Amino acid sequence: MELKNPILAGFYPDPSICRVGGDFYMVTSSFSFFPGVPIFHSTDLAHWEQIGHVLNRPAQLPLDPMSISSGIFAPTIRHHNGTFYMITTNINHGGNFIVTAADPAGPWSDPHWISGAEGIDPSLFWDDDGKAYYTGTRGFGQTVPKIWCSEIDLERFELVGDKTDLWGGALIDCHAPEAPHLYKKEGWYYLMIAEGGTENNHAVTIARSKTVLGNYEGCPGNPILTHRHLDVNDPISNVGHGDLVELADGSWYMVMLASRIYGGYHKNMGRETFIAPVVWQNGWPHVSPETGKVEWSYPAPDLPETVPAPKPVRDDFEGDALGLDWNLLGTPVRSIYKLEGSRLKIRTVEAPICPPAGTIFERFSLDDRIDVLGFVGRRQQNMSYDVAVSLDFDPADKAESAGLILLQNNFQSVRIEKIRHNGRKILRAVQGYIDLEYTVEHNLGAGEYHQAVLGEIEWPSSQVILKIKAREQDLSFFAADESGQETPILEHLDGGFLGSETAGGFIGTYIGLFASGNGQDTGHFAEFDWFDYKGRD
Ligand code: 6LW
């Protein structure tokens, strides 16, 4: 058996891992997608099965659908004295909070908000004397952010005593020291962080101290992991933001985020979860020691295998709940879909799936006037893939639309939509994009939103099978009838614009089903009978 990277394919950034006996659990960031913080289980580190979402109730997860790269930032998962703890930041709704559970599959508690906890990327550490410590990054977005630490009372979920700055990163004035985790090994406290920013200068660095609050001395070999020195088009890039786990036999592994780069410096799948072995030498960890960089595969550790059933290509939308692959965008403060008669029915809500052309976006592009979007989507997990979906929709007037969208963020997407235009029923391909006034340091997009109709065909029937064939960055869109006869709508679009390096933000591409009344909730439903996703790489 081998550990094959990525271990979580598609948009699964900022992984955090913990081990409880023979079981490993992992969580990742989820930003403005609902439910939030997917949680995975494994017994062998190679096969991971999603067992739920940590945040699956609206009361746990206030989110804005038009602020896709805000919401839930990097989570940490830990287990202590029979309780699971997940700590994270809701960047635009309340800050840092902890939820707990006896069973990692849930239910998880309501949020315990940590008053006075500044910044992002919180983590928890228990010392041998039973005291618990909170670490985070403060000064985020300023010139000299710092990793800070405070004791925390986990009965009352309150910080205790002073906040101490522990470390500012390995490089002088380093960019974005973040993602701190504390570990204790052989009498040393190790503080592992990420720095350099979550693009191709990303890195993992480490410092250690004899006492928990410092003084921390940096590892002379820092960074202990980076691909920043490699070609930016290296097929594995942006390596950083890791968490360590010790196996029962005393061996160690690191999970970290990295991106698969293809068709130029494009990372359409955003930041994914990778793994590498770690050995300790002379008191410091060495990651992937044979080559010093993250590889596509490693021999698996000697652990009992648990191989999940292969995922079916087709979702028939049977049952009364969506599968764990599916997400909404923003908190469902009112219902936007129903599962009925083995169909997913999405309501023609008032918000357009993409903003009107001419909208000006800044920073995280907040638009809190929009409460819900008629969007149900899943991650792109392969460089090449085929998608097909059966849509039954008869647009009642010229405002309604429904279809299939590749969505990188609120203002970077391409969609095929069924609309009624001048009395004709048509299927058209529309690209949404923003002028690239792209702020590299802060990962934020700003500019004017545009839309371009790139293809159009007449389609009188309410029934259609919409298809996407993605061959790396070469994207083609088709309509098919029940006999399978395909008609192209748009062929050979360069998909490179669906990468977050041009779009800004933290997201990987989603494949979404949508419906809208474009200005008013018309109370109709676009009906999706089945959905196929087939990875080809
Ligand atoms: C996260 C930070 C980072 O909070 O990006 O790569 C931010 N690391 O640690 C969003 O994922």
Query: What pTM value is reported for the model?
Result: 0.96
Which atom of ligand 1 is nearest the CA belonging to 74? 4
- Report residue 75 CA to chain centroid gap: 11
Helix (H, G, I), strand (E, B) or coil at 436: coil
CA distance 389 to 461: 15
Dihedral sign for Cα atoms in the order 160, 88, 3, 268 = negative
Asked whether the beta carbons of 169 and 178 are under 8 A apart, the reply is: no
Q: Is the pLDDT of residue 145 over 60?
A: yes
Q: Is the pLDDT of residue 484 over 50?
A: yes
Question: If you compute the radius of gyration of the chain from its CA atoms, what whole number of angstroms results?
Answer: 23
List, for residues 63-107, the tens digit of each pLDDT value: 999 889 999 999 999 999 999 999 999 999 999 999 999 999 999
Q: Where are the beta strands (DSSP E) in 28-101?
A: 33-34, 36-42, 49-55, 76-80, 83-90, 95-101
| 519 Cα–ligand 1 center, Å | 35
Tell me the one-letter amino acid at 495. Answer: G
pLDDT at 301: 98
List, for residues 503-527, the tens digit of each pLDDT value: 778 999 999 999 999 999 999 999 9
Inter-CA distances, 381 with 344, 511, 529, Å: 22, 10, 22
Dihedral sign for Cα atoms in the order 115, 117, 123, 126 = negative
pLDDT at 398: 65
End-to-end CA distance of the chain: 19
CA distance 477 to 248: 49
pLDDT at 364: 47
Residue among 91, 120, 226, 442 to mutate when testing ligand 1 (max atoms within 8 A of CB):
120
Ligand 1 pocket check for 73: Cβ under 6 Å: yes
pLDDT at 446: 62
pLDDT at 442: 42
pLDDT at 501: 81
Ligand 1 pocket check for 181: Cβ under 6 Å: no
| 96 Cα–ligand 1 center, Å | 14
Cβ-proximal residues to 503 (8 Å cutoff; 6+ apart), any chain: 408, 409, 411, 412, 434, 445, 497
Nearest CA to ligand 1 atom 9: 179
pLDDT at 368: 63
pLDDT at 144: 74
Ligand 1 pocket check for 176: Cβ under 6 Å: no
CA distance 199 to 175: 11
Q: What's the angle, vertex CA 338, arms to CA 332 and CA 343, rounded to 5?
A: 140
- Round the average pLDDT of the chain to a whole number and report it: 94
Q: Is the pLDDT of residue 151 over 70?
A: yes
List, for residues 401-443, the tens digit of each pLDDT value: 999 999 999 889 999 999 998 889 999 999 998 765 544 344 4
CA distance 401 to 399: 7
List, for residues 211-253, the tens digit of each pLDDT value: 999 999 999 999 999 999 999 889 999 999 999 999 999 999 9
| 473 Cα–ligand 1 center, Å | 26
Residue, of 341 and 142, whose pLDDT is higher: 341
Nearest CA to ligand 1 atom 8: 198
Which atom of ligand 1 is nearest the CA belonging to 257? 6
Instruction: Give me the mean pLDDT over the 306-313 stretch.
Output: 95
Which atom of ligand 1 is nearest the CA belonging to 137? 9
Q: What residues are labeled active site?
A: 14, 178
pLDDT at 240: 98
pLDDT at 363: 53
Q: Report residue 445's pLDDT band, with 50, 70 and 90 as the boundaries.
A: low
Q: Is the pLDDT of residue 283 over 60?
A: yes
pLDDT at 366: 54
Instruction: Give me the mean pLDDT over the 149-161 stretch.
Output: 98
pLDDT at 45: 98
